[in-house]
Amino acid sequence: MSEATSPVSRSGQGHGPPSLRGGHGGGAGPSMLFHHFETMVQQKAAVELGMWLFLAQEVMFFGGLFMAYVYYRNKFHDAFVHASKHLDVTLGTVNTVVLIGSSLTMALAVDAAQKGKRDRTRNLVVATMVLGLVFMGIKAYEYHHKWVEGLIPGAGFSGEATLGHGSHIFFILYFMMTGLHALHMIIGEGLMIMLLVWNKQGKVTGEYPSRCHAMGLYWHFVDIVWIWLFPMLYLVSRH
């Protein structure tokens, strides 16, 4: 049964005469229309809505951490101010710029895919991946720095005395939020590798650019999460 969703093969009993259902008209490459959709329009619309629902779910997933952040920032305000000063604003700003840049390249990649430019799509996706790796490299350096400073909660955390009561929660949230964000980026990099493979097979830029579009939505969501994390974590009352 698993082949029933594969784009080309069809199960025997569908609507209408098989001769007409099987015919896919002209056009290069294999048809990307799945068996249970009537038209490509419908399929694209379903994929787009599905991705947005997934992102709505993601907003609530990160939202629980945002809730915890707001709750504890209210409760341990001074500790949050002091702890935030131990994050490197310069690196955070550079990372913000890098990630916004990767968002731009991803948006341009989607645009290229929709216009059917296969090579341009490939180049832009690769650029996005490189920028994502730069981001994660900088992030790893920052994590290492926290380790050296002894600011990892649960592993010889030294901040409770110097930064005030509740600062450990700031760093728990820092690591959970940025860690979850980085995990999403790693997944995104993996998905982009798949996207490159599909692109090579011509399955991205043809009649069905929705995979690239969905990938773009995902990557922009990752960007948006960082847009919020940056001021929340790095910029708490810097003056």
Partner 1 sequence: MSPVMSSPPSAGAYSQRGSRSGRPVVLDYIAASHGVRSWLFTVDHKRIGLLYLMSITAAFFLGGAFAVAVRVELLTPQGDVFQSETYNKMFTMHGIVMLFFFLIPSIPAVLGNFFVPIMVGARDMAFPRLNLLSWYLYIVGASFTSWAVIDGGVDTGWTFYTPYSSSFSNSHVIAVASGIFVLGFSSILTAINIIVTVHRMRAPGMTWLRLPLFVWAMYGTSIIQVLGTPVLAITILLLGAERLLRVGIFDPAIGGDPLLFQHLFWFYSHPAVYIMVLPAMGVVSEIISTFSRKRIFGYRFIAGSSIAIAVLGFLVWGHHMFVSGQSMYGALVFSVLSYLVAVPSAVKVFNWTMTLHKGAICFDTPMLYALGFIGFFLIGGLTGLFLAAVGLDVHVHDTYFVVAHFHYIMVGGALMGYLGGLHYWWPKMTGRMYPEWLGKFAAFTIFVGFNLTFFPQFVLGYLGMPRRYHVYPEEFQVLNVMSTAGASVLGFGYLVPMAYLLHSLRYGPKAEADPWKADGLEWRTMSPPPVENFLEQPIVTGGPDESTPPASEPGTTPQLGGAVV
Partner 2 sequence: MADSDKKKPDRKEAGRSGDASEPPAAQRKKRARPIIPASAAAEEEPPRNIRVRAERPPAPEAEVPSRRAAASVTEEAPRRRKPQPERSAANVAEDVAGTHHGPSMTIYFGIFGLLLVLTGVTVAAAFVDLGPFSAPVAVAIAAVKATVVVLYFMHVKYASRLIGLYAASGFLFLAILLGITMSEVSARAPAGPIDPLAPAGRVAPPPTAGHANPPSGLRPAPADDEP
Which residue reads 């990752």 in tokens? 222
**How far is it, in rounded angstroms, from Cα 59 to Cα 51?**
12
**Token couple for 60:** 């609530």
Q: Which does 201 bind (CB under 5 to 8 A by kind): partner 1, partner 2, none?
A: none
**How far is it, in rounded angstroms, from Cα 209 to Cα 183?**
25
C-beta of 151 vs 225, nearer to partner 2: 225
Q: Which candidate, 237, 227, 198, places its Cα nearest to that of 100?
A: 227
Helix axis angle, 89-114 to 118-149, nearest 10°? 160
Q: Which candidate, 123, 135, 94, places its Cα nearest to that of 219?
A: 135
* 70 is a contact residue toward partner 2 (CB under 8 A): yes
What track of x and - describes contact with partner 2 for positions 28 through 47 (by CB under 8 A)?
Answer: x--x-x----xxxxx-xxx-
* 110 is a contact residue toward partner 2 (CB under 8 A): yes
Q: Which does 101 bind (CB under 5 to 8 A by kind): partner 1, partner 2, none?
A: partner 2
Q: Which does 39 bind (CB under 5 to 8 A by kind): partner 1, partner 2, none?
A: partner 2
3-class DSSP state for residue 158? coil
Which of 79, 83, 87, 103 binds partner 2 (CB under 8 A)? It is 103
**Token couple for 37:** 């959709």
Least distance from partner 2 to the Cβ atom of residue 138, Å: 15
C-beta of 39 vs 90, nearer to partner 1: 39
**How far is it, in rounded angstroms, from Cα 52 to Cα 209?**
16
C-beta of 132 vs 171, nearer to partner 1: 171
Contacts 24+ apart (CB under 8 A), 11-17: 11/35
C-beta of 12 vs 26, nearer to partner 1: 12
Q: Which residues contribute to the site for partner 1 (CB under 8 A)?
A: 1-2, 4-5, 11-17, 35-37, 42, 45-46, 49-50, 53-54, 56-58, 60-65, 67-68, 71-72, 75, 153-155, 157, 160, 165-166, 168-169, 172, 176
